[in-house]
A = this chain, B = another copy of it.
Amino acid sequence: MIPYAYLVDDDDAIRDSLGWLLESRGVACRGFGSAEEFLATWNDTLTGCLLLDIRMDGMSGPELFDILNERGNKLPVIFLTGHGDVPMAVSALKKGAFDFVEKPCNDNELANRVIEALRLNENQRLAASGADSLKTLIDTLTTREKQVMERVLSGKLNKVIAEELLISMRTVEVHRANLFDKMGVRTAVELAQLLAGKSGK
C-alpha cells in the first residue's frame, strides 16, 4: 500500500490546488469530496496522512476525526480551517491531531507539514512492524509452550513449572527448549529481553 496524502474537502478548487501543490513535491494524493466518501474508503491498512477540512457539508472534519479515532486510525491528521477557532484547534491537537493549519496559508509550509506527517507515519509503521513480527513469532508457539514460557518469564524453576502444569520436569524441559528455539534465543534472560515491556501472553 503506497502512502497517500488523503485530501478531504468539499471545495473542488481547494482539493485541486492542494493536490497540485503536493504532487509537485512528490506526494501522491487522493481527493474526497466529503467525510462520508472518505469514511467509506477508509480501512486500517491505509498509509500516508490525512488532510481534513473543518467545515464541510454533511459530516464535519472533527466528527470524521472522532469516528476514525474510534476505529483505530493511525494516519496522522492535519486539519485545515478557514476561520481561526482556538478551542477547536486545542481540542483537535489534544485528541492527537498532527497539526492544525489556517487557510490561506503558506503553501510551502503546508507541504512541509504534510511531508513531516508522512515521515511520522512511516516511522510508526516501521516501529509497529517489529512488534508485529514478534507477535507472529509468539503465534507459532503451541499452547503448552506458551504456558511454559509464561512461567519461565516469571522466573520459576522447571521443577515448579512441572508441578503447576502437572507434568514431568522432562516435558517442561522439552517445551522450554522448543520454545527457545522458535523464539530464537539461547537463554531465559534473552527471552525476557526480547519481550521486555510486552505482555508476553
B-contacting residues of A (Cβ < 8 Å)?
81, 84-87, 89-90, 93-94, 99-102, 152-155, 185-193, 196-197
Contacts and interface: CB of A to CB of B under 8 A. Distances in A.
A86 B99 contact: no
A90 B99 contact: yes
Nearest to A90: B100
B189 A196 contact: no
Contacts of A81: 86
A6 to B, nearest CB: 21
A90 B89 contact: yes
A87 B106 CA distance: 12
Contacts of A188: 155, 188-189
Q: Which of A84, A152, A186 has the most CB of B within 10 A?
A: A84
A11 to B, nearest CB: 19
22 contacts: A81-B86, A84-B85, A84-B86, A85-B86, A86-B86, A86-B89, A86-B102, A87-B102, A90-B100, A93-B93, A93-B94, A94-B99, A152-B189, A153-B189, A154-B189, A155-B190, A189-B189, A189-B192, A192-B192, A192-B193, A196-B196, A197-B197
Nearest to A187: B155
Given A89-B89, A189-B189, 6 more contacts: A90-B99, A155-B186, A155-B188, A192-B193, A192-B196, A196-B197
Nearest to A193: B192
A94 B79 CA distance: 14
A155 B101 CA distance: 50
Contact of A93 (B90, B185, B187): B90
